[in-house]
Structure formats: structure tokens, C-alpha cells
Amino acid sequence: MKRFISMLLTVVLVMQCTSTVFAADIQEKNVEAAIENEIQSAKQELHNIIYDQLERQNALEHLQIYEEILFPRIEYQVMCKYGNIPNVVSSNGDDYSEYAHCEAPNGGVATYTLERSTNINCVETFLNREDTLYYLLNKDDSFSFTLETAISTLVGAIPNYGTAYSGLLGVLMVLDRATNDSINRAKGYTDILVVDQGGTGSYLITGWFQYPYMVLWQDRIISYKFYTWKPHDPWA
């Protein structure tokens, strides 16, 4: 009888351990599925925003460039949300890691070059909530602005980064409903990305979801530099 009870207890313990492992495995798979679903949903939403903005600029040939730059940031953002921090380096140096980032609570600018047969120059402006409100949303109902106004005031000088970029500085940029929604979901932080490929330029305005970090996926980036802004009051 004692032997039978001992065997029974052993079976129960084994079943409990197996059940615990099985439950943990299911939970892990559920988390992985949730992460993947969130990433794919965010990518589709961003694709639609990119497509609509580039279509208005007759620049759909740049669609793949923007997706290559921005899609990895979605993965970065979602992985951080679930506690899986990607490999990053916080510097302007040459050390390689999957991502480079720079903390910029007051906003800033990132300049970088993507390696191609014709290299692609990029200038990305990151606006905090107050600058977004002042430069983008404190306007008339058209929600229009020029990038030159914001950058020249905040940086003190316009980065010289290609003819297409210079040409886009004075272009009237308009925020549509989808872009406004993106900025609102990013809690009022804005990301303005300008791409210059062989003298042909385009721009994209979205929410800055990685605030307070300017984040770059380093694959095929030849060089990059971060500029951060000091505390300031745009209303002063």
C-alpha cells in the first residue's frame, strides 16, 4: 500500500511539473504571437501613411526606402514594450550594433547616409510635444508649416545635406488626418524624415513613437550623426 501511494505521489508530481512547463510554453507562444501581431499591424498602418504622403508628392519610388528605415523601429518599439531590449549603441562613433540611439528629451536632428548604388542622404527632425504644438499645430485649420521655420529656429543653422533636402526646406508641408492621428497616438511627439536620392527628395511626417530616443537601424548606414537640442521654450 505504501509503495502504491508513493508511486501515485510520484505520478502526481510529474503531472504537475509537466502541466507547469506546458502552461509556460503556451504563455510564451501567446506572447510571441501578440508581439508579431502588434508588429505587423503597426507596419501595415505605417505603410498606409507612407503611401498616402508619397503619392501626394509623386514620390512613390521612395516607398521602399522609408519602409526600410522605419519598419525596424516598430520592431524595436514593440520589443522594448515587452521587455526584450534590442542591442543598441548610444554614440556617434563607428561601433556596430543593430540599433543606434540617442536620448533627446528636447528633440533633435539625425543625419545619416544609406549605402546604395546611388547613396541616400537622410535628415530626420524630432520634435517634442511643445515644439509640435507650436510649429505644427498652432496654425490655421490647414495645419501647414515649413521645415525651415522649425529647424532654423531650433538648431540655429540649417544642416547642409544635399540639394533635394535644401529644396524641401521651404516646401509647405500639410498634416492630413492620418498624420495627425499618428502624432496624437505618439502623445504629441513628431518625426519628420526627409530623403534625398540623387537629387530627388521627399518627406514623411509621422508620430515619434520612440521618444525620448532618436533611433536608427544601422543596417546599410554608412555614417550618422545626432544633434540634440537644449531645453527651450518655443512660446517665449
Residue 142 has pLDDT above 60, yes or no: no
- CA-to-CA distance for 213 and 90, rounded, in angstroms? 10
* pTM recorded for the entire structure: 0.77
- CA-to-CA distance for 217 and 101, rounded, in angstroms? 9
* pLDDT, tens digit, 9 for 90 and up, residues 207-222: 999 999 999 988 888 8
Taking the alpha carbons at both ends of the chain, their separation in whole angstroms is: 87
* Residue 181 within any structural domain of the chain: yes
* Residue 219 within any structural domain of the chain: yes
The full length of the chain comes to 236
* Residue 235 within any structural domain of the chain: no
Domain hosting 130: range is 35-228
* Residue 21 within any structural domain of the chain: no
Query: CB atoms < 10 A from the CB of 1, how many?
Result: 5
- Residue 176's Cβ-count burial label (10 Å; 0-12, 13-18, 19+) is middle
* Residue 12 within any structural domain of the chain: no
* pLDDT, tens digit, 9 for 90 and up, residues 56-115: 889 999 999 999 999 999 988 888 888 776 666 554 444 556 888 899 999 988 989 998
Cα–Cα distances in angstroms (integers) from residue 62 to residues 39, 157, 173, in the given order:
22, 27, 17
* Residue 11 within any structural domain of the chain: no
Closest to 193 in 3D by CA, of 214, 219, 176: 214
Q: What is the DSSP letter of 86?
A: P
* Percentage of the residues of the chain whose pLDDT score is greater than 70: 66
* Residue 26 within any structural domain of the chain: no
* pLDDT, tens digit, 9 for 90 and up, residues 145-193: 666 666 666 655 555 655 555 555 656 666 778 888 999 999 999 999 9
* pLDDT, tens digit, 9 for 90 and up, residues 12-45: 455 555 555 444 555 666 778 888 899 999 999 9
* Residue 67 within any structural domain of the chain: yes
**How many domains would you assign to the chain?**
1
